[in-house]
Structure 1
Amino acid sequence: MRVEIKLNFIDLFAGAGGLSEGFVKRGYKPLAHVEMDRYAAQTLLTRSIYWELKSTNRYSIYLDYLEGTITKEEFYSYLPPEMSNIVINAEISEQTIDGIFNVIDNNMRLLGENKIDLIIGGPPCQAYSLVGRARDPERKENDPRNYLYKQYIKFLEKYEPDLFVFENVPSIKTAGNGSFFQSMKDDMQALGYTLESAVVDASNHGVLQQRKRVILIGWKAESNMRFPDIEVVLGDYRVSDLLDDLPDLLPGEIMEKCNYTANASEYLIQSGIRTDDFVTQHISRPHNERDRAIYRLVIEAWKNQGNWLKYTDLPAGLRTHKNLHSFLDRFKVVAGDSAYCHTMVAHISKDGHYYIHPDIKQIRSLSVREAARIQSFPDNFYFEGPRTSIFTQIGNAVPPILSEKIAIGIEQLFRTAINSQQGVEGHA
């Protein structure tokens, strides 16, 4: 007999909610999302209302919001009172953590929960990233964000979840010569958790992007769990399957709402990314003529030679940087004929040089919606805030398709554990 699993969770350092998206899609119940950035927190709130409306057969109200026929204030009025603090817009610090605990405790009471099943999330990765360390003369060794994991551990100590998911960039394992990662694991094990980690590449799990993350899973030592099986999903798809049904855009053009211009690809259907009859936030950043001239050369080089131009390959008249010895791969096309896009990072909020659209007719960087698709966000996922903030939210996110595979694996662990316990009790 199939055991019904109803698990809840809290999401720390939640960002726009890429990690929690897959868990909610699988039926996990969020009790709180904690995020310091105000625009990302608004995105989380909008998505929380989406799930509430979808679960109560009022999805048309959400579509009204996307189409702009109701105001944000009216849309937000559909959030049930017991969920009024489901998103906690606060920095997690020594000064705020007790207040955050109080809000979560109250949420648990209002939502009828007496324990936390899971904690998910990971602190900001900039302090651990190889790029960040390379640009910092102190190699991020004194960055206080290195120690945000200690705040995560305080949540483990207070709520004692059965299992937790900690995710971050692979270079967290080498930051501080490995001392930060080891100290973190030591502190987690001291709370009675058994740990196992793996470097997981999203491209092996249904995402058309090569994106590696460390996934650290911890479970109560007595629970007899293990690292979850994360389903491998491979297909004969191309990045163009994500791009070709969206309207052409000029640099700086804004399509807040537009219709698709082609049938959905098999990938868009299988992945569930394409959802409704229209799409929002197909928004392109503006580019100056020098950048567009460079973009044209980069696109042509990829199409004709199959390689990316180095900065030193550009005509002297197009170069504005004196540094000709490092960071020479400043411009990169998103190759539509490739199986996977290169890793999407938050730097896309600064400029689009690393994410140039492959269409020579458009000569621009990726739009907001195109970047979201590469991260595997569904088309009905609406991001709040200005364009720069939205790109940051997208670049920092865990791909929801990968998140869902992790959620499925954890669900299976709990089902096995419950079946095992029932078997023991049946023979008692």
Structure 2
Amino acid sequence: MNVIDLFAGAGGLSEGFRQEGHNILAHVEMDKHACTTLKTREAYYYLKENNKLDVYKSYLKKEITRDTLYEHIPENVLNRVINKAVSDETNPEIFEEIDELLRGRDVELIIGGPPCQAYSVAGRSRDPEGMRNDPRNYLYQQYISFLRRYQPNYFVFENVLGLLSAGNGSIFENIQEELRDAGYEMDFRILNSRDFGVLQSRRRIIIIGWREGIEFNYPHFETLNHQYTIRDLFQDLPVIKAGEEKEPGNQYLTQQNNYLRESGIKPNEWDVLSQHIARPNRDLDLEIYRYCVDIWNRENRKVRYNELPQRLITHRNTDTFLDRFNVVPYEEISHTVVAHIAKDGHYYIHPDINQNRSISVREAARIQSFPDDYYFESSRTAAYKQIGNAVPPLMARKIARSLINPNT
């Protein structure tokens, strides 16, 4: 189907749909770093389709600049990325740019999810007004304006579970009513990425809608049962310490294992490891990391902040927010990766006590099921934020498949 991706972020949702053969006509996103990531991904697909992946690999190896990379890409391909905030003021411009990209084609599917901060329980707890007056509460109306404009057959709307309780449930009721007014039926489920083969527990609400008159039922997704763990996910990545980076190139320790091959995270014949970079840490934090990993390895439990040795406790608050440090366990799957990883890595400590660091950009991307050929612009911090905000492509791929055949 021909697809528009709204609130696209780094493109996790559209990546899954693209892998299933859907045609992404346009990505609309306000964050400039995420838009650069999307352009670089468009460059990857164009070069792959034209048997010129060596150019893309040269960019990852830092042999050519981004400008040089983009010189190999037609302007109409890069123009699929629209760097604008969705709003009443900007929508006419966005519509005009999308219409030019359509070239007479119909939009058959709209995907995306408005920024979740206004709906998240954590966001509401931090805001003195509980996000009641946050304009992001109503970005769903902008999403619906695109449905009204392009009348796709289907849409997929992703968000955090807090959407169901925002405004004491009134916002979700309004969404359903306004979708009906726009001519759409809808259904939703709370889905967990772990059930789709992603090595991460990540629960999200997935709304699927269809135009009135189309016979469609919300698809049934079979839970994927396997025994793969983070150890399988990290197995071929070289050892680095806090603040270190492996220069891009063929530096994998081993070939594909079964999980990396089956999930598509390490594509066949892919040989360029990039963005295996870890943030630097203070000596105090590294000592806390060692302590937490040691307790996890010996006792299989997390360390609460007030359980740390007294010399490591520097915050006055030892009564609340005690879950500040968390190990990503080798023998299990990961807890949810969120955008806060861009600010510090305390909640994502690497399980190898000898490496003594938080997870690298590439490890975070793998936990989210992004393939190793996916490159995140434009800095380490920006990359972490984009990854934490993304929809896991492996989960998105199976949702995309269900719209082709609801019984698979």
| TM-score bracket, shorter-length normalisation | over 0.9
Report the secondary structure of 2:176's partner residue: helix
CA deviation after TM superposition for structure 1 residue 244, in Å? 2.0
Corresponding position of 1:47:
41
Quote how far apart the aligned CAs of 1:233 are.
2.2
> Do residues 410 (structure 1) and 403 (structure 2) align?
yes
Hey, what's the Cα distance between the residues in 2 that align with 1:190 and 1:245?
52
Match of 1:91 in 2: 85
1:270 matched to 2:262? The reply is: yes
- Give 1:70's match in structure 2, choosing from 50, 64, 69: 64
Once the two structures are superposed, what CA deviation does each residue of 1:342-366 show, in whole Å capped at 9, x if it has no partner? 0000000010000000001011000
Q: Which residue of 1 aligns with 2:29?
A: 35
Range with greater deviation from structure 2 (396-405 or 318-327): 318-327
Matched, 1:344 2:337: yes
Q: Deviations over 1:370-414 (max 9, x none)?
A: 00000000001011111111100000000000000001001115x
Distance 2:257 2:125 in 1: 40
**Identity value in percent:** 49
The answer as to whether partners of 1:219 and 1:226 remain within 8 angstroms in 2 is no
- 1:204 aligned partner: 195
CA apart distance, 1:228: 2.5
Residues 25-424 of structure 1 aligned to structure 2 (within 5 Å) = 25-109=19-103, 113-258=104-249, 259-275=251-267, 276-338=270-332, 340-413=333-406
Q: Which runs of 5+ in 1 are unaligned?
A: 1-6, 417-428
Spell out, residue by residue over 1:228-263, the C-alpha distance to the aligned partner (whole angstroms, 9 max, x if none): 333532211111111121111111112241411123
CA-atom RMSD, angstroms? 1.4
The separation in 2 between residues aligned to 1:231 and 1:82, in whole angstroms, is 39
CA drift of 1:58 comes to 2.2
CA distance in 2, matches of 1:204, 1:218: 22
**Match for 1:236: what amino acid?**
Q
Q: CA separation in 2, counterparts of 1:278 and 1:51?
A: 16
2: CA distance between counterparts of 1:278 and 1:99?
Answer: 39
Contact preservation (8 Å) 2:57, 2:272: no
Secondary structure, counterpart of 1:320 in structure 2? coil
TM-score of the aligned structures, taking structure 2 as reference length:
0.97
After TM superposition, give the deviation of residue 191 of structure 1 in Å.
1.1
* Correspondence 1:18 to 2:39: no
Structure 1 residue ranges (4+ consecutive) displaced by more than 4 angstroms after TM superposition:
none
Secondary structure at the aligned position of 1:254 is classed as coil
Contact between 2:219 and 2:402, CA under 8 Å: does it hold in 1? yes
Aligned to 1:419: none
**Counterpart code for 1:367:** S
Q: Which amino acid aligns with 1:262?
A: T
Tell me by how many angstroms 1:99 deviates.
0.3
- For residue 14 of structure 1, report the CA deviation from its aligned partner: 0.3
Structure 2 counterpart of 1:411, which letter? I
Give TM-score scaled by structure 1 length: 0.92
Cα displacement string for residues 186-232 of structure 1 (whole angstroms, at most 9, x for unaligned residues): 10111111110000100001100000110001101201112133353
Q: Which runs of 5+ in 2 are unaligned?
A: none
Q: Give the count of matched residue pairs.
A: 405
Cα shift at 1:316: 1.9
Give the match's secondary structure for 2:274: strand
Moved more, 137-146 or 202-211: 137-146
